[in-house]
Structure 1
């Protein structure tokens, strides 16, 4: 299964009400969205038909998230009349939008990808789904920070080790998609400040000159799961129901976490 086939399945399985994409390029992944969306790229060149209500932002992701209200376009993700029928203030949901599905495919350097995650997490919650592209380089040359190949992942694969070491509260699933794999992250916590506090320490250890020391497990894809195993997992319906009800982190998260551990163990 290739990247776009997996993303199409993820849109369906997660029943996301909104979508954020970092790194638009020609718009092939953005064209999969059918919900209110934000797409960020300082030099996008969209050549495909976009079939969603989208705010295309020509800026770096750092500059975008530095805005006072970056998700303003998504505030209408739930119609106010629906809130009225449920006895809520008509603008209740609009005041605190949380991202349902985010796709990070921006600058292919570790520190940029890490900052993208940090920024996205501030606008997510435990039921959000955050996806990184290009996590499984096929050789050391493809993983170089200084690009010298046609296909290029850069060193964003390092995000896997950093999240597993510094954020064990998250669940990460490495997915064996073509051509260069994905990482799906569950359990976002917008109140967690560990990555911000440890950022300088992380950069000092993980950013270094080429050649990169790519783990054999990455090159061999030995810890990646089949994309079908994740897309067809039974936890999606309970996750969507919990998210749509606004269920707080707790029993719902622990159940999801147990299911994800089983998927990772099964490979």
Structure 2
């Protein structure tokens, strides 16, 4: 299954109410959204027809997240006395807006992708789904930090190992989409600061010169899940139901984590 076909179906099974995209390019992935969206890219050149209420932000993702209220568009970006049905308190205090679905496809160096993940997680919740693109390079050349090929993933594949080592509380799923795979992350916890605190330490360890020593398990796609099998898994409906009911993390995450792991083990 190709990446955009998988993303189209992912929008459906997550029944997401909000969407964030980092790395817009020509808009081929953004055009899949039908909900209030924010799309960030310092040099986008959208040529696709966009069919959602979108705020296109021409900026780096770092600059975007440094804004006082980066998700304002998802609440209408207006006076808090308006659109109470969107979750606003009449006295002007907003219920926290979260990103139901996020797609990270920005700069293809792991340190940028890691910062993007940290920033996205701060605006996510346990029932959010975070997707990172280009996680399965097909060759060492394609995974180089210094781009010298037409198709290029860079070394963002390292994010999988970083999350598994430093954030075992998350569930990470490598998906065998074409051409270069994706990583889905479940169980986001905006209160967890481990990656932020260890960022410099992580970068110092993983920033190594080319050629990159890409694990054989990555090149051979050993630990991946079939995209259709993942889309057909039974945990999506309980996830959406719990999210829409506003179930808090203490009640919702562990049952979902168990369902996720059971679904993965059965493949």
TM-score past 0.5 threshold: yes
Residue in structure 2 matched with residue 97 of structure 1 by the alignment: 97
Out of 69, 84, 95, which is 1:80 matched to? 84
TM superposition shift of 1:254: 1.2
TM superposition shift of 1:75: 1.2
TM-score using structure 1 length: 0.94
Unaligned runs of 5+ residues in structure 2 are none
Mark the CA change 1:93 to 1:75 in structure 2 (over 3 Å): closer, same or farther.
Answer: farther
1 CA distance for matches of 2:162 and 2:86? 41
Show structure 1 runs of 4+ deviating over 3 A: 76-79, 88-95
Mark the CA change 1:232 to 1:90 in structure 2 (over 3 Å): closer, same or farther.
Answer: farther
Q: Write the deviation string for residues 181-203 of structure 1: whole angstroms up to 9, x where unpaired.
A: 00000000000010011111100
SS of the equivalent of 1:178 reads coil
2 CA distance for matches of 1:73 and 1:254? 31
1 CA distance for matches of 2:128 and 2:255? 15
Mark the CA change 1:91 to 1:183 in structure 2 (over 3 Å): closer, same or farther.
Answer: farther
Q: Please say if residues 75 and 86 of structure 2, whose CA atoms lie closer than 8 Å, have aligned partners that are also in contact.
A: no
**Equivalence map 1:1-267=2 (5 Å):** 1-76=1-76, 80-81=84-85, 89=89, 94-267=94-267
2 CA distance for matches of 1:63 and 1:246? 30
SS of the equivalent of 1:250 reads helix
TM superposition shift of 1:259: 2.0
Mark the CA change 1:128 to 1:219 in structure 2 (over 3 Å): closer, same or farther.
Answer: same
Give the aligned CA root-mean-square deviation in angstroms: 1.8
Unaligned runs of 5+ residues in structure 1 are none
TM superposition shift of 1:102: 0.1
The alignment of Structure 1 onto Structure 2 pairs a total of residues equal to 263
Q: Please say if residues 140 and 212 of structure 1, whose CA atoms lie closer than 8 Å, have aligned partners that are also in contact.
A: yes
1 CA distance for matches of 2:86 and 2:162? 41
Q: Please say if residues 80 and 91 of structure 1, whose CA atoms lie closer than 8 Å, have aligned partners that are also in contact.
A: no
2 CA distance for matches of 1:92 and 1:187? 29
TM superposition shift of 1:251: 3.5
